[in-house]
Amino acid sequence: MEIAQHQMAELCFTAASEVADPFNELEVDAVFAAPDGSTRRVPGFWCGGREWRVRYTSGIVGRHTCVLHCRPAADVGLQGVTGQVTVVPYDGDNPLYRHGPVRVAADRRHFAHEDGTPFFWLGDTWWMGLSRRLDWPTGFAQLASDRRAKGFTVIQIVAGLYPDMPAFDERGANEAGFPWEPGYGRLRPEYYAMADRRLQYLVDEGFVPCLVGAWGYFAQWMGVERLKQHWRYLVARYGALPVVWCIAGEANLPYYLAPGFPFDDREQVTQWTEVARYVHQLDPYSRPLSMHPTGLGRLTSRGAIDDESLLAFDMLQTGHGLRDVLPATVQTLRDSIAAEPTMPVLNSEVSYEGLMGTIPAEIQRLTFWTSLLSGAAGHTYGANGIWQVNRPGRPYGASPHGGNYGTTPWQEAMALPGSRQLAWARRLLCAYPWWRFEPRPEWASYEAAPTDVPVYEVPYAAGIPGEVRFVYAPQSRGVVVAGLEPGVVYQALAYDPATGQQSMVGEAVADSGCRWRCAPPTGIAADWLLVLSVTPAAAVEPV
Protein backbone atom coordinates (compact mmCIF):
# COMPACT_ATOMS: atom_id res chain seq x y z
CA MET A 1 0.00 0.00 0.00
CA GLU A 2 1.24 3.50 -0.85
CA ILE A 3 0.32 6.72 0.96
CA ALA A 4 1.65 10.26 1.06
CA GLN A 5 3.39 11.65 4.12
CA HIS A 6 1.12 12.12 7.14
CA GLN A 7 -1.87 10.55 5.41
CA MET A 8 -3.51 7.45 6.85
CA ALA A 9 -3.02 3.91 5.58
CA GLU A 10 -5.44 1.12 6.50
CA LEU A 11 -4.39 -2.52 6.53
CA CYS A 12 -7.11 -5.20 6.75
CA PHE A 13 -6.75 -8.62 8.38
CA THR A 14 -9.15 -11.54 8.81
CA ALA A 15 -9.22 -13.91 11.76
CA ALA A 16 -8.89 -17.57 10.78
CA SER A 17 -11.62 -18.69 13.14
CA GLU A 18 -14.81 -17.37 14.72
CA VAL A 19 -14.63 -15.91 18.22
CA ALA A 20 -17.80 -15.48 20.22
CA ASP A 21 -16.95 -11.96 21.45
CA PRO A 22 -13.89 -10.64 19.58
CA PHE A 23 -14.11 -7.12 21.00
CA ASN A 24 -13.75 -8.39 24.55
CA GLU A 25 -11.69 -11.54 23.95
CA LEU A 26 -8.94 -10.36 21.57
CA GLU A 27 -6.40 -7.56 21.35
CA VAL A 28 -4.49 -6.94 18.15
CA ASP A 29 -1.41 -4.75 17.67
CA ALA A 30 0.95 -4.20 14.76
CA VAL A 31 4.61 -3.36 15.32
CA PHE A 32 5.81 -1.08 12.51
CA ALA A 33 9.45 -0.60 11.55
CA ALA A 34 10.26 2.65 9.73
CA PRO A 35 13.13 3.14 7.23
CA ASP A 36 15.14 5.02 9.87
CA GLY A 37 15.05 2.00 12.21
CA SER A 38 12.44 3.40 14.61
CA THR A 39 9.48 1.26 15.65
CA ARG A 40 5.92 1.90 16.77
CA ARG A 41 3.40 -0.45 18.35
CA VAL A 42 0.05 0.51 16.84
CA PRO A 43 -3.20 -0.90 18.28
CA GLY A 44 -5.62 -2.52 15.86
CA PHE A 45 -9.40 -2.38 16.03
CA TRP A 46 -12.24 -4.80 15.45
CA CYS A 47 -14.62 -3.78 12.67
CA GLY A 48 -17.19 -6.57 12.95
CA GLY A 49 -17.27 -10.30 12.32
CA ARG A 50 -13.76 -11.68 11.81
CA GLU A 51 -12.39 -8.41 10.36
CA TRP A 52 -9.64 -6.37 12.03
CA ARG A 53 -7.85 -3.28 10.80
CA VAL A 54 -4.72 -1.33 11.61
CA ARG A 55 -4.29 2.32 10.66
CA TYR A 56 -0.87 3.86 10.29
CA THR A 57 0.76 7.15 9.33
CA SER A 58 4.27 8.57 9.14
CA GLY A 59 6.19 11.52 7.78
CA ILE A 60 9.21 9.33 6.98
CA VAL A 61 9.48 8.54 3.28
CA GLY A 62 10.21 4.92 2.33
CA ARG A 63 9.04 1.38 3.01
CA HIS A 64 7.53 0.61 6.41
CA THR A 65 6.94 -3.00 7.46
CA CYS A 66 4.77 -4.44 10.19
CA VAL A 67 4.16 -7.67 12.09
CA LEU A 68 0.79 -8.44 13.67
CA HIS A 69 0.51 -9.57 17.29
CA CYS A 70 -2.66 -11.01 18.82
CA ARG A 71 -3.55 -11.71 22.45
CA PRO A 72 -4.26 -14.57 22.97
CA ALA A 73 -1.98 -15.75 20.17
CA ALA A 74 -3.94 -18.80 18.98
CA ASP A 75 -5.42 -17.31 15.80
CA VAL A 76 -3.02 -17.79 12.88
CA GLY A 77 -4.93 -15.19 10.86
CA LEU A 78 -4.01 -12.50 13.36
CA GLN A 79 -0.67 -13.65 14.77
CA GLY A 80 2.62 -13.09 12.96
CA VAL A 81 1.01 -11.81 9.76
CA THR A 82 3.13 -9.20 7.99
CA GLY A 83 2.33 -6.14 5.91
CA GLN A 84 3.96 -3.08 4.46
CA VAL A 85 3.23 0.57 3.69
CA THR A 86 5.24 2.77 1.35
CA VAL A 87 5.27 6.45 2.25
CA VAL A 88 5.92 8.91 -0.59
CA PRO A 89 6.41 12.71 -0.50
CA TYR A 90 3.24 14.76 -0.13
CA ASP A 91 2.54 17.19 -2.96
CA GLY A 92 -0.48 19.26 -1.98
CA ASP A 93 -1.65 22.23 0.05
CA ASN A 94 -3.34 20.67 3.10
CA PRO A 95 -1.24 22.04 5.99
CA LEU A 96 -1.83 18.92 8.10
CA TYR A 97 -0.10 16.81 5.47
CA ARG A 98 2.35 19.41 4.17
CA HIS A 99 3.62 20.47 7.61
CA GLY A 100 2.59 17.46 9.66
CA PRO A 101 0.26 16.98 12.62
CA VAL A 102 -0.06 19.50 15.42
CA ARG A 103 2.05 19.23 18.57
CA VAL A 104 3.18 21.52 21.39
CA ALA A 105 5.79 23.97 20.15
CA ALA A 106 9.32 24.10 21.51
CA ASP A 107 8.52 27.12 23.71
CA ARG A 108 5.80 25.07 25.50
CA ARG A 109 3.45 28.07 25.06
CA HIS A 110 2.00 27.53 21.59
CA PHE A 111 1.15 24.86 19.05
CA ALA A 112 3.11 24.04 15.93
CA HIS A 113 3.07 21.51 13.13
CA GLU A 114 5.61 18.68 13.18
CA ASP A 115 7.99 20.69 10.98
CA GLY A 116 7.86 23.68 13.36
CA THR A 117 5.38 25.82 11.40
CA PRO A 118 3.29 27.77 13.96
CA PHE A 119 -0.31 26.65 14.35
CA PHE A 120 -3.04 29.05 15.48
CA TRP A 121 -5.84 27.28 17.37
CA LEU A 122 -9.17 28.82 16.40
CA GLY A 123 -11.67 26.21 17.46
CA ASP A 124 -15.35 25.71 16.84
CA THR A 125 -17.64 23.67 19.10
CA TRP A 126 -19.56 20.81 17.46
CA TRP A 127 -19.99 18.62 20.55
CA MET A 128 -22.72 16.47 18.97
CA GLY A 129 -21.52 16.76 15.37
CA LEU A 130 -21.13 12.99 14.92
CA SER A 131 -24.84 12.44 15.51
CA ARG A 132 -27.30 12.14 12.64
CA ARG A 133 -28.87 15.51 13.47
CA LEU A 134 -25.97 17.08 11.58
CA ASP A 135 -26.83 15.18 8.43
CA TRP A 136 -24.17 13.55 6.31
CA PRO A 137 -22.95 14.58 3.84
CA THR A 138 -24.93 17.75 3.06
CA GLY A 139 -25.23 19.48 6.42
CA PHE A 140 -21.86 18.41 7.69
CA ALA A 141 -20.13 19.66 4.54
CA GLN A 142 -22.08 22.94 4.63
CA LEU A 143 -20.98 23.74 8.17
CA ALA A 144 -17.40 22.67 7.45
CA SER A 145 -17.29 24.84 4.34
CA ASP A 146 -18.44 27.89 6.29
CA ARG A 147 -15.85 27.34 9.02
CA ARG A 148 -13.05 26.67 6.53
CA ALA A 149 -13.85 29.87 4.62
CA LYS A 150 -13.69 31.81 7.89
CA GLY A 151 -10.34 30.30 8.88
CA PHE A 152 -11.25 28.02 11.78
CA THR A 153 -8.58 25.40 12.36
CA VAL A 154 -9.91 23.06 15.10
CA ILE A 155 -13.26 21.31 15.60
CA GLN A 156 -14.08 20.16 19.13
CA ILE A 157 -16.31 17.11 18.73
CA VAL A 158 -17.40 14.23 21.01
CA ALA A 159 -16.86 10.58 20.04
CA GLY A 160 -20.45 9.51 20.59
CA LEU A 161 -20.82 9.52 24.40
CA TYR A 162 -22.45 12.93 24.60
CA PRO A 163 -23.26 15.61 27.16
CA ASP A 164 -26.69 16.89 28.09
CA MET A 165 -28.66 13.67 27.66
CA PRO A 166 -29.43 10.39 29.43
CA ALA A 167 -27.81 7.15 28.27
CA PHE A 168 -28.99 5.83 24.89
CA ASP A 169 -31.05 8.90 24.14
CA GLU A 170 -32.12 8.85 20.46
CA ARG A 171 -30.61 12.32 20.01
CA GLY A 172 -27.17 10.73 20.37
CA ALA A 173 -27.55 8.15 17.62
CA ASN A 174 -26.06 8.41 14.16
CA GLU A 175 -27.21 6.62 10.98
CA ALA A 176 -25.96 3.30 12.43
CA GLY A 177 -27.39 3.75 15.92
CA PHE A 178 -25.41 4.06 19.16
CA PRO A 179 -21.66 3.67 19.82
CA TRP A 180 -22.16 0.95 22.46
CA GLU A 181 -24.65 -1.82 23.07
CA PRO A 182 -27.07 -1.32 25.98
CA GLY A 183 -25.34 -2.11 29.24
CA TYR A 184 -21.95 -1.25 27.68
CA GLY A 185 -21.15 -4.89 27.06
CA ARG A 186 -19.60 -4.26 23.66
CA LEU A 187 -18.74 -1.37 21.38
CA ARG A 188 -20.51 -1.14 18.01
CA PRO A 189 -18.13 -0.68 15.03
CA GLU A 190 -21.06 0.33 12.81
CA TYR A 191 -21.34 3.64 14.66
CA TYR A 192 -17.69 4.45 14.13
CA ALA A 193 -17.80 3.46 10.46
CA MET A 194 -20.17 6.42 10.05
CA ALA A 195 -17.99 8.63 12.27
CA ASP A 196 -15.00 7.76 10.04
CA ARG A 197 -16.51 9.64 7.11
CA ARG A 198 -17.03 12.81 9.09
CA LEU A 199 -13.67 12.85 10.85
CA GLN A 200 -11.71 12.06 7.68
CA TYR A 201 -13.65 14.81 5.91
CA LEU A 202 -12.63 17.34 8.56
CA VAL A 203 -8.96 16.38 8.19
CA ASP A 204 -9.13 16.50 4.40
CA GLU A 205 -10.58 20.01 4.71
CA GLY A 206 -7.63 21.05 6.87
CA PHE A 207 -9.24 20.94 10.33
CA VAL A 208 -7.68 19.34 13.40
CA PRO A 209 -10.34 17.28 15.21
CA CYS A 210 -10.12 17.75 18.97
CA LEU A 211 -11.74 14.41 19.75
CA VAL A 212 -13.46 14.24 23.14
CA GLY A 213 -13.65 10.59 24.22
CA ALA A 214 -16.80 10.89 26.35
CA TRP A 215 -18.57 13.22 28.70
CA GLY A 216 -17.33 12.98 32.26
CA TYR A 217 -20.33 11.30 33.85
CA PHE A 218 -19.87 8.19 31.68
CA ALA A 219 -17.21 7.20 34.21
CA GLN A 220 -20.02 6.42 36.64
CA TRP A 221 -21.98 4.43 34.05
CA MET A 222 -19.15 2.51 32.39
CA GLY A 223 -16.31 2.25 34.91
CA VAL A 224 -12.61 2.64 34.25
CA GLU A 225 -11.98 -0.66 32.47
CA ARG A 226 -14.74 -0.11 29.92
CA LEU A 227 -13.52 3.45 29.37
CA LYS A 228 -10.04 2.12 28.71
CA GLN A 229 -11.50 -0.23 26.12
CA HIS A 230 -13.36 2.71 24.60
CA TRP A 231 -10.23 4.80 24.44
CA ARG A 232 -8.12 1.95 23.06
CA TYR A 233 -10.62 1.73 20.21
CA LEU A 234 -10.46 5.50 19.58
CA VAL A 235 -6.66 5.51 19.55
CA ALA A 236 -6.62 2.53 17.19
CA ARG A 237 -9.22 3.98 14.85
CA TYR A 238 -8.27 7.68 14.87
CA GLY A 239 -4.74 7.99 16.20
CA ALA A 240 -3.33 7.91 12.65
CA LEU A 241 -5.32 11.08 11.87
CA PRO A 242 -3.75 14.41 12.91
CA VAL A 243 -6.00 14.71 15.95
CA VAL A 244 -5.59 16.07 19.45
CA TRP A 245 -7.16 14.18 22.35
CA CYS A 246 -9.52 15.47 25.01
CA ILE A 247 -9.96 12.56 27.42
CA ALA A 248 -13.32 13.71 28.77
CA GLY A 249 -15.68 16.65 28.69
CA GLU A 250 -16.52 18.23 32.05
CA ALA A 251 -14.47 15.50 33.68
CA ASN A 252 -15.21 16.72 37.19
CA LEU A 253 -18.99 17.12 36.82
CA PRO A 254 -21.38 14.28 37.80
CA TYR A 255 -24.57 13.46 35.93
CA TYR A 256 -27.15 16.23 36.04
CA LEU A 257 -29.65 14.26 38.15
CA ALA A 258 -27.10 13.04 40.71
CA PRO A 259 -28.01 13.89 44.31
CA GLY A 260 -26.41 17.19 45.26
CA PHE A 261 -25.71 18.22 41.66
CA PRO A 262 -23.74 20.30 40.79
CA PHE A 263 -20.58 19.46 42.68
CA ASP A 264 -16.91 18.91 41.97
CA ASP A 265 -16.66 15.12 41.69
CA ARG A 266 -13.14 14.14 42.78
CA GLU A 267 -13.85 10.39 42.48
CA GLN A 268 -14.69 10.94 38.83
CA VAL A 269 -11.49 12.96 38.36
CA THR A 270 -9.46 10.04 39.73
CA GLN A 271 -11.17 7.68 37.29
CA TRP A 272 -10.43 9.91 34.31
CA THR A 273 -6.85 10.38 35.44
CA GLU A 274 -6.35 6.63 35.24
CA VAL A 275 -7.82 6.62 31.73
CA ALA A 276 -5.62 9.55 30.69
CA ARG A 277 -2.52 7.73 31.94
CA TYR A 278 -3.55 4.67 29.92
CA VAL A 279 -4.01 6.71 26.72
CA HIS A 280 -0.72 8.51 27.33
CA GLN A 281 1.06 5.15 27.39
CA LEU A 282 -0.96 3.57 24.56
CA ASP A 283 -0.89 6.25 21.86
CA PRO A 284 1.96 5.43 19.43
CA TYR A 285 1.92 8.97 17.99
CA SER A 286 1.86 10.91 21.28
CA ARG A 287 -0.91 13.22 20.13
CA PRO A 288 -1.41 16.27 22.40
CA LEU A 289 -3.73 15.34 25.27
CA SER A 290 -5.92 17.41 27.56
CA MET A 291 -9.03 17.32 29.73
CA HIS A 292 -12.09 19.58 29.48
CA PRO A 293 -13.23 20.88 32.90
CA THR A 294 -16.56 22.08 34.16
CA GLY A 295 -17.13 25.73 34.95
CA LEU A 296 -17.55 24.82 38.61
CA GLY A 297 -14.83 26.08 40.91
CA ARG A 298 -11.91 24.42 39.11
CA LEU A 299 -12.00 25.93 35.64
CA THR A 300 -8.92 24.32 34.10
CA SER A 301 -7.71 20.93 32.92
CA ARG A 302 -5.22 21.15 35.76
CA GLY A 303 -8.18 21.08 38.16
CA ALA A 304 -9.83 18.15 36.38
CA ILE A 305 -6.96 15.67 36.63
CA ASP A 306 -4.85 14.26 39.48
CA ASP A 307 -1.58 14.24 37.51
CA GLU A 308 -0.87 17.42 35.53
CA SER A 309 2.19 15.85 33.89
CA LEU A 310 -0.22 13.88 31.67
CA LEU A 311 -1.49 17.10 30.08
CA ALA A 312 0.06 18.55 26.93
CA PHE A 313 -2.12 21.67 27.08
CA ASP A 314 -4.65 23.26 29.39
CA MET A 315 -8.28 23.71 28.33
CA LEU A 316 -10.34 26.23 30.31
CA GLN A 317 -14.09 26.55 30.77
CA THR A 318 -14.78 29.88 32.45
CA GLY A 319 -18.54 30.20 32.32
CA HIS A 320 -21.43 31.43 30.21
CA GLY A 321 -22.52 35.00 30.71
CA LEU A 322 -21.88 38.60 29.72
CA ARG A 323 -19.03 40.82 30.90
CA ASP A 324 -19.29 39.14 34.29
CA VAL A 325 -17.27 36.20 32.86
CA LEU A 326 -14.22 38.40 32.23
CA PRO A 327 -12.60 38.24 35.72
CA ALA A 328 -12.66 34.43 35.85
CA THR A 329 -11.57 34.18 32.21
CA VAL A 330 -8.52 36.41 32.53
CA GLN A 331 -7.41 35.41 36.02
CA THR A 332 -7.78 31.66 35.37
CA LEU A 333 -5.77 32.04 32.17
CA ARG A 334 -3.02 34.04 33.87
CA ASP A 335 -2.82 31.59 36.76
CA SER A 336 -2.44 28.63 34.41
CA ILE A 337 0.20 30.39 32.30
CA ALA A 338 2.19 31.05 35.47
CA ALA A 339 1.81 27.48 36.78
CA GLU A 340 4.12 24.48 36.35
CA PRO A 341 4.44 22.40 34.30
CA THR A 342 4.48 24.94 31.48
CA MET A 343 1.99 24.21 28.71
CA PRO A 344 -0.16 26.03 26.13
CA VAL A 345 -3.38 27.41 27.59
CA LEU A 346 -6.64 28.25 25.81
CA ASN A 347 -10.28 28.76 26.66
CA SER A 348 -12.19 25.81 25.21
CA GLU A 349 -15.65 26.90 26.35
CA VAL A 350 -16.87 30.34 27.27
CA SER A 351 -20.08 32.32 26.68
CA TYR A 352 -21.57 30.57 23.65
CA GLU A 353 -22.98 33.16 21.30
CA GLY A 354 -26.78 33.18 21.39
CA LEU A 355 -27.04 30.95 24.47
CA MET A 356 -30.62 31.32 25.75
CA GLY A 357 -30.88 34.31 23.44
CA THR A 358 -28.80 36.50 25.75
CA ILE A 359 -25.11 36.42 24.73
CA PRO A 360 -24.09 38.73 21.85
CA ALA A 361 -20.98 38.60 19.66
CA GLU A 362 -19.40 41.36 21.73
CA ILE A 363 -18.71 38.84 24.52
CA GLN A 364 -16.95 36.45 22.15
CA ARG A 365 -14.71 39.35 21.01
CA LEU A 366 -14.09 40.31 24.60
CA THR A 367 -12.99 36.84 25.69
CA PHE A 368 -10.94 36.27 22.51
CA TRP A 369 -8.89 39.46 22.61
CA THR A 370 -8.35 39.57 26.37
CA SER A 371 -7.23 35.92 26.27
CA LEU A 372 -4.91 36.17 23.26
CA LEU A 373 -3.24 39.34 24.56
CA SER A 374 -2.83 37.68 27.96
CA GLY A 375 -0.81 34.82 26.49
CA ALA A 376 -3.36 32.22 25.32
CA ALA A 377 -2.26 29.77 22.62
CA GLY A 378 -5.59 30.15 20.84
CA HIS A 379 -9.30 30.22 21.53
CA THR A 380 -12.46 28.19 20.91
CA TYR A 381 -15.67 29.81 19.73
CA GLY A 382 -19.09 28.38 20.47
CA ALA A 383 -22.57 29.10 19.13
CA ASN A 384 -25.77 27.86 20.67
CA GLY A 385 -27.60 25.81 18.07
CA ILE A 386 -24.39 24.30 16.69
CA TRP A 387 -22.97 22.50 19.72
CA GLN A 388 -26.22 20.53 20.21
CA VAL A 389 -27.24 20.67 16.49
CA ASN A 390 -30.68 22.23 16.54
CA ARG A 391 -32.52 21.42 13.30
CA PRO A 392 -35.19 23.60 11.66
CA GLY A 393 -38.46 22.70 13.32
CA ARG A 394 -36.68 20.03 15.39
CA PRO A 395 -34.63 21.70 18.11
CA TYR A 396 -32.54 19.62 20.46
CA GLY A 397 -35.09 19.92 23.25
CA ALA A 398 -34.88 19.67 27.00
CA SER A 399 -31.79 18.85 28.99
CA PRO A 400 -32.05 16.16 31.69
CA HIS A 401 -32.63 18.87 34.30
CA GLY A 402 -35.57 20.20 32.26
CA GLY A 403 -34.06 23.41 30.91
CA ASN A 404 -33.54 24.43 27.29
CA TYR A 405 -30.56 26.42 26.00
CA GLY A 406 -32.35 27.77 22.93
CA THR A 407 -33.94 26.70 19.66
CA THR A 408 -31.90 28.53 17.00
CA PRO A 409 -31.26 26.10 14.09
CA TRP A 410 -27.61 25.39 13.37
CA GLN A 411 -27.90 26.95 9.90
CA GLU A 412 -28.82 30.28 11.52
CA ALA A 413 -26.30 29.88 14.33
CA MET A 414 -23.60 29.31 11.70
CA ALA A 415 -24.19 32.88 10.48
CA LEU A 416 -24.09 34.61 13.87
CA PRO A 417 -21.65 37.56 13.68
CA GLY A 418 -19.25 36.33 16.34
CA SER A 419 -17.78 33.63 14.12
CA ARG A 420 -16.93 36.23 11.46
CA GLN A 421 -15.46 38.58 14.02
CA LEU A 422 -13.16 35.96 15.53
CA ALA A 423 -12.20 34.76 12.06
CA TRP A 424 -11.15 38.32 11.17
CA ALA A 425 -9.26 38.58 14.48
CA ARG A 426 -7.26 35.46 13.64
CA ARG A 427 -6.46 36.81 10.17
CA LEU A 428 -5.20 40.05 11.64
CA LEU A 429 -3.00 38.31 14.20
CA CYS A 430 -1.64 35.93 11.56
CA ALA A 431 -0.44 38.93 9.53
CA TYR A 432 2.17 39.33 12.30
CA PRO A 433 4.48 36.85 14.11
CA TRP A 434 1.82 36.28 16.77
CA TRP A 435 3.59 33.27 18.28
CA ARG A 436 6.39 35.58 19.45
CA PHE A 437 4.01 37.95 21.26
CA GLU A 438 4.44 38.43 24.98
CA PRO A 439 1.74 39.84 27.28
CA ARG A 440 2.75 43.36 28.33
CA PRO A 441 -0.10 44.82 30.43
CA GLU A 442 2.15 47.74 31.46
CA TRP A 443 2.17 48.99 27.87
CA ALA A 444 -1.37 50.43 27.90
CA SER A 445 -3.89 52.26 30.09
CA TYR A 446 -6.89 54.51 29.65
CA GLU A 447 -6.40 58.25 29.56
CA ALA A 448 -7.07 60.14 32.79
CA ALA A 449 -7.09 56.90 34.83
CA PRO A 450 -10.91 56.68 35.13
CA THR A 451 -12.18 55.31 38.42
CA ASP A 452 -15.39 53.81 37.01
CA VAL A 453 -13.69 51.05 34.99
CA PRO A 454 -13.93 47.48 36.37
CA VAL A 455 -10.48 46.07 37.07
CA TYR A 456 -10.61 43.53 34.21
CA GLU A 457 -11.94 46.00 31.63
CA VAL A 458 -8.67 47.91 31.39
CA PRO A 459 -6.69 47.82 28.10
CA TYR A 460 -4.78 44.63 27.24
CA ALA A 461 -1.49 44.72 25.39
CA ALA A 462 0.98 42.27 23.90
CA GLY A 463 3.59 42.20 21.18
CA ILE A 464 7.28 42.29 20.40
CA PRO A 465 9.34 45.27 21.67
CA GLY A 466 10.63 47.39 18.84
CA GLU A 467 8.51 45.55 16.25
CA VAL A 468 4.77 45.41 16.95
CA ARG A 469 2.25 46.15 19.69
CA PHE A 470 -1.41 45.18 19.91
CA VAL A 471 -3.67 47.04 22.34
CA TYR A 472 -7.27 45.98 22.93
CA ALA A 473 -9.59 48.34 24.80
CA PRO A 474 -12.76 46.69 26.14
CA GLN A 475 -14.33 50.16 26.44
CA SER A 476 -14.59 53.07 23.99
CA ARG A 477 -12.02 55.27 25.69
CA GLY A 478 -8.75 56.81 24.61
CA VAL A 479 -5.62 54.89 25.51
CA VAL A 480 -2.08 55.78 26.49
CA VAL A 481 0.64 53.52 25.10
CA ALA A 482 3.62 53.45 27.48
CA GLY A 483 7.20 52.23 27.34
CA LEU A 484 7.78 53.19 23.71
CA GLU A 485 11.39 52.88 22.58
CA PRO A 486 13.04 56.28 21.95
CA GLY A 487 13.74 56.81 18.27
CA VAL A 488 11.44 53.97 17.09
CA VAL A 489 8.68 55.14 14.79
CA TYR A 490 5.57 52.98 14.71
CA GLN A 491 2.78 53.16 12.16
CA ALA A 492 -0.56 53.16 13.99
CA LEU A 493 -3.78 51.54 12.79
CA ALA A 494 -7.05 51.50 14.70
CA TYR A 495 -9.76 48.89 14.14
CA ASP A 496 -13.38 48.27 14.90
CA PRO A 497 -13.20 44.55 15.84
CA ALA A 498 -16.91 44.12 15.15
CA THR A 499 -16.60 45.08 11.48
CA GLY A 500 -12.89 44.87 10.71
CA GLN A 501 -13.01 48.50 9.54
CA GLN A 502 -9.51 50.01 9.58
CA SER A 503 -8.59 53.62 10.36
CA MET A 504 -5.17 55.09 9.59
CA VAL A 505 -3.93 56.95 12.64
CA GLY A 506 -0.43 57.93 11.50
CA GLU A 507 2.94 57.76 13.20
CA ALA A 508 3.25 56.86 16.86
CA VAL A 509 6.34 58.54 18.32
CA ALA A 510 7.19 58.58 22.01
CA ASP A 511 7.01 61.81 23.99
CA SER A 512 9.57 62.64 26.66
CA GLY A 513 7.95 60.09 28.97
CA CYS A 514 8.06 57.34 26.30
CA ARG A 515 4.27 57.54 25.91
CA TRP A 516 1.82 58.14 23.08
CA ARG A 517 -1.92 58.77 23.14
CA CYS A 518 -4.67 57.63 20.81
CA ALA A 519 -8.45 58.13 20.71
CA PRO A 520 -10.81 55.36 19.54
CA PRO A 521 -11.98 55.44 15.92
CA THR A 522 -15.00 57.62 15.17
CA GLY A 523 -18.28 55.85 15.75
CA ILE A 524 -16.93 53.20 18.16
CA ALA A 525 -19.42 52.62 20.97
CA ALA A 526 -17.86 49.54 22.56
CA ASP A 527 -14.46 47.82 22.28
CA TRP A 528 -11.68 48.78 19.85
CA LEU A 529 -8.23 47.67 18.77
CA LEU A 530 -4.97 49.53 18.17
CA VAL A 531 -1.98 48.09 16.29
CA LEU A 532 1.43 49.74 16.25
CA SER A 533 3.94 48.24 13.85
CA VAL A 534 7.34 49.31 12.54
CA THR A 535 6.57 47.50 9.26
CA PRO A 536 2.77 47.39 8.85
CA ALA A 537 1.32 44.21 7.41
CA ALA A 538 -1.02 44.18 4.45
CA ALA A 539 -4.60 45.24 5.08
CA VAL A 540 -6.84 42.48 6.42
CA GLU A 541 -10.26 42.55 4.83
CA PRO A 542 -13.39 41.83 6.90
CA VAL A 543 -14.65 38.25 6.69
- What stretches of 177-287 show up as alpha helix (H) in DSSP? 189-204, 218-238, 266-282
What is the pTM for the complete model shown?
0.97
pLDDT at 383: 98
pLDDT at 60: 98
**Distance in angstroms (rounded) separating the CA atoms of residues 7 and 91:** 12
Q: What is the CA radius of gyration of the chain?
A: 24
- Which strand ranges, in their side-by-side order, compose the sheet holding 2-4? 2-4, 82-88, 62-71, 27-33, 39-43
pLDDT at 348: 98
- What stretches of 290-357 show up as alpha helix (H) in DSSP? 326-338
E strand spans, 5-153: 9-14, 27-33, 39-43, 45-46, 51-56, 62-71, 82-88, 102-104, 111-113, 118-119, 121-125
pLDDT at 452: 81
Instruction: Sketch the domain layout of the chain as residue ranges.
Output: 2-88, 95-430, 438-533
pLDDT at 295: 80
Domains 95-430 and 438-533 share a fold: no
pLDDT at 453: 87
Contacting residues for 49 by C-beta, under 8 A, at least 6 apart: none
Is the CATH number 2.60.40.10 carried by domain 2-88?
Answer: yes
pLDDT in tens, the chain (543 residues): 999 999 999 999 999 888 899 999 999 999 999 999 999 999 999 999 999 999 999 999 999 999 999 998 776 789 999 999 999 999 999 999 999 999 999 999 999 999 999 999 999 999 999 999 999 999 999 999 999 999 999 999 999 999 999 999 999 999 999 999 999 999 999 999 999 999 999 999 999 999 999 999 999 999 999 999 999 999 999 999 999 999 999 999 999 999 999 999 999 999 999 999 999 999 999 999 999 999 887 899 999 999 999 999 999 999 999 999 999 999 999 999 999 999 999 999 999 999 999 999 999 999 999 999 999 999 999 999 999 999 999 999 999 989 899 999 999 999 999 999 999 999 999 999 999 999 999 999 999 777 788 889 999 999 999 999 999 999 999 999 999 999 899 999 999 999 999 999 999 999 999 999 999 988 888 899 999 999 877 778 877
**Distance in angstroms (rounded) separating the CA atoms of residues 446 and 528:** 12
- Residue 210 β-bridge partners: 156, 244
pLDDT at 36: 97
Cis status, amide bond into 166, omega within 30 of 0? no
pLDDT at 331: 97
Q: Answer for the pair 314, 336: CB distance below 8 angstroms, yes or no.
A: yes
Annotation: CATH topology of 95-430: TIM Barrel (3.20.20)
pLDDT at 513: 92
Is the CATH number 3.30.930 carried by domain 438-533?
Answer: no
